Amino acid sequence: MSDRASVLFVCLGNICRSPLAEAVVRDRASRRGLDGLFMFASAGTGSWHVGNGADQRSAETARKYGLDLSQHAAQQITTGTVDQWQWFVAMDEDNRVELIRMGVPEDRLLLMRQFEPGCEVTPDVPDPYYGGADGFEDAYRMLCENADRLLDYLEGRAL
């Protein structure tokens, strides 16, 4: 088993928000010299897209900002795989509730935007899947704005 803390980013289908979150936070961790502390991955609570690459709009947004989602293959988190991860970062309240239903302990479960100052009670990263490119830009912006706050929290628990 790795000495690195394992962190799983979770959304519904693992083709839009969670792979983008994984890429953003991994990049930010690398820039901060935290590569050796964490192992990042992403998954969806649903099975619809298992094995598929990232949504083209998510991949294009990532590419625009120097991130690469070309090797992403969607996977599903299940009750049988929950024990493989130390930390779970849900993109929205629905995914948080589903993770709790799967047996994820609440003290190991975070919301991506929960550390954002002034954020509403349920700080979701809205799902851009059924919208246009603007939704992916908005999601990317939210992920970037919260990546360092999330890393600060995780780093404080990894040391």
**Which residue is catalytic, options 17, 26, 96, 113?**
17
Whether residue 17 lies in the annotated active site: yes
Whether residue 11 lies in the annotated active site: yes
- Summarised one tens digit per residue, pLDDT across range 116-157 is 988 766 689 999 999 888 999 999 999 999 999 999 999 999
Q: What is the dihedral of CA 70, 88, 114, 17, to 10 degrees?
A: 20
- Summarised one tens digit per residue, pLDDT across range 32-76 is 999 899 999 999 999 999 999 999 999 999 999 999 999 999 999
What is the per-residue pLDDT for 119? 73
Which domains does the chain possess? 5-158 (3.40.50.2300)
Count Cβ neighbours within 10 Å for each residue of 113-126 and write b for 16 or more, e otherwise.
Answer: bbbeeeeeeebbbe
**Which residue is catalytic, options 27, 55, 124, 127?**
127
**Which residue is catalytic, options 11, 27, 55, 92?**
11
Tokens 């130390």 sit on residue: 86
State the CB neighbour count (10 A cutoff) for residue 23.
26
State the CB neighbour count (10 A cutoff) for residue 80.
8
Tokens 């693992």 sit on residue: 14
State the CB neighbour count (10 A cutoff) for residue 105.
10
What mean pLDDT is predicted for residues 89-118?
Answer: 96
